[in-house]
Amino acid sequence: MHKQDIRKALKEKLHAISPEKKEIKQQKIFSRLSPLIHSLNFRYLLSNEFCAGLFAPLADEVNCVEYKEWKVISFPSFSSNDSMTFKKCSFEDLKESDEFGVKLLCPPSELEDVVPELLVVPGLGFTKNGERLGRGKGFYDRFLESYQGIKIALVFEEQILEKLPVEEHDVNVDYVVSEKGVWKQGEALKL
């Protein structure tokens, strides 16, 4: 299958999840995320020194903002030259922008740029090996090329596929967390 066909099929699967079921799944995902975060020895997770990179979720994505353990968070800021940086701010500080033809919540441009130590990476589909299928704009692909921190995907089980078409520029995430398990490069972790 081509990427566009896979994207369409995944969007249909995700659309079919009721809000009630989504909330239950999301809480299970968070219950798996906590032991993973703590196993990574981010002892200062609850301090003001640790910065997590999040994203303003779309309706069909796990709402990573609702995970209550983040203290300092940052969100992607997009530029017209197709680059992306992260800016330290709260979710409430995000402003609606339609600069790219779709409505996105973005941090105000005057805020401080940061490099998050842990990045929650969005995508439509993932494999347990960490391969990722984004939404097609390439912002995260370009950012991840040089990103050195830990990359985590929080996904509904419906988003996990056996395989995905990958290209040379695609960057895998380090961990995939769903309501049914946690995987590091294809290996199921017992946390």
> Is 42 or 158 the better-scoring residue by pLDDT?
158
> Is 33 or 38 the better-scoring residue by pLDDT?
33
In the chain, the number of structural domains is: 1
Residue 167 falls inside a structural domain: yes
Residue 110 falls inside a structural domain: no
Give yes or no for residue 96 having a pLDDT over 70: yes
Give yes or no for residue 69 having a pLDDT over 70: yes
Give yes or no for residue 50 having a pLDDT over 90: no
How many CA atoms does the CB half-sphere of 158 hold within 13 Å?
A: 20
Give yes or no for residue 99 having a pLDDT over 90: no
Q: What is the pLDDT of residues 105-150, one digit of tens each?
A: 889 989 989 999 999 999 999 999 999 998 877 889 889 999 999 9
The mean pLDDT value of the chain amounts to 90
35 phi/psi in degrees, rounded to 5: -65, -30
The pTM is what?
A: 0.92
Nearest one of 61, 72, 67 to 140, comparing CA atoms = 61
Per-residue confidence band for 11, with pLDDT thresholds at 50, 70 and 90: very high
Check: CB of residue 159 under 8 Å from CB of residue 12: no
Q: Please enumerate, as own/partner, the contacts of 37-42 that have beta carbons within 8 Å and a separation of 24 or more.
A: 37/69, 37/118, 39/189, 39/191, 40/118, 40/150, 42/117, 42/118
Domain region containing 148? 3-75+118-188
Residue 106 falls inside a structural domain: no
Per-residue confidence band for 169, with pLDDT thresholds at 50, 70 and 90: confident
Residue 87 falls inside a structural domain: no
Residue 104 falls inside a structural domain: no
Please give, one letter per residue, the 3-state secondary structure of the chain: CCHHHHHHHHHHHHHCCCHHHHHHHHHHHHHHHHHHHHHCCCCCCCCCCCEEECCCCCCCCCCHHHCCCCCEEEEEEECCCCCEEEEECCHHHCEEECCCCCCEEECCCCCCEECCCEEECCCCEECCCCCEECCCCCHHHHHHCCCCCEEEEECCHHHECCCCCCCCCCCCCCEEEECCEEEECCEECCC
Residue 102 falls inside a structural domain: no
Give yes or no for residue 100 having a pLDDT over 60: no
- Both tokens assigned to 132: 């990722």
**Per-residue model confidence (pLDDT) at position 102:** 65
Per-residue confidence band for 33, with pLDDT thresholds at 50, 70 and 90: very high
**Per-residue model confidence (pLDDT) at position 68:** 87
**Per-residue model confidence (pLDDT) at position 46:** 56
> Is 191 or 24 the better-scoring residue by pLDDT?
24
Kindly report the CATH number assigned to the domain that includes residue 137.
3.40.50.10420
